[in-house]
Amino acid sequence: MIHQIRVIFGDTDQMGVVYYANYLRYFEGARADYWRSLGKSYKDLEAWGIALPVIEAHCNYKRSAFYEDVLDVEVGVSELRGASIRFAYQVRRGDALLADGFTRHAVIGKDGRPRGVPEVLRAAIPAIVG
């Protein structure tokens, strides 16, 4: 699934380059769009009695992005374990790969304790290729 964004001025630093931490915001926006593309949202997770807090995040920066750039953030589930889910991302400007990375999320219940991935969530996620 591809989420498209246009870089706003507030996302850039004094040199006019997208500030590194904003890539994690781009990842988050892509994740939310991913759920919407499946006909779901984070509200569905709450209804299922779970939350998916980020427990690990990584971004590998390759090239800079700038104000007004139109970026494509490709996102997909790359791993589904017993009590965690991993999303993989690629950020592109046209054909140029600017960054790639991942976030890992614990699956926790309303009590804040880890729990297995509910079957309803497994069923909502397309098959993982790889």
Which domain does 79 fall in, by range?
2-124
* pLDDT value for 120: 87
**pLDDT bucket at 45, cuts 50 / 70 / 90:** confident
In a domain, 87, yes or no: yes
Q: What is the DSSP string of 21-88?
A: THHHHHHHHHHHHHHHHTT--HHHHHHTTEE--EEEEEEEE-S--BTT-EEEEEEEEEEE-SSEEEEE
Tell me if residue 13 is catalytic.
Answer: yes
In a domain, 111, yes or no: yes
In a domain, 71, yes or no: yes
**What mean pLDDT, rounded, does the chain reach?**
93
Q: What is the mean pLDDT of residues 25-30?
A: 97
In a domain, 129, yes or no: no
With a pLDDT cut of 90, the percent of the chain lying above it is 79
CATH of the domain at 30: 3.10.129.10
In a domain, 62, yes or no: yes
In a domain, 130, yes or no: no
Catalytic residue among 13, 33, 44, 72: 13
Give how many domains the chain has, as a whole number: 1
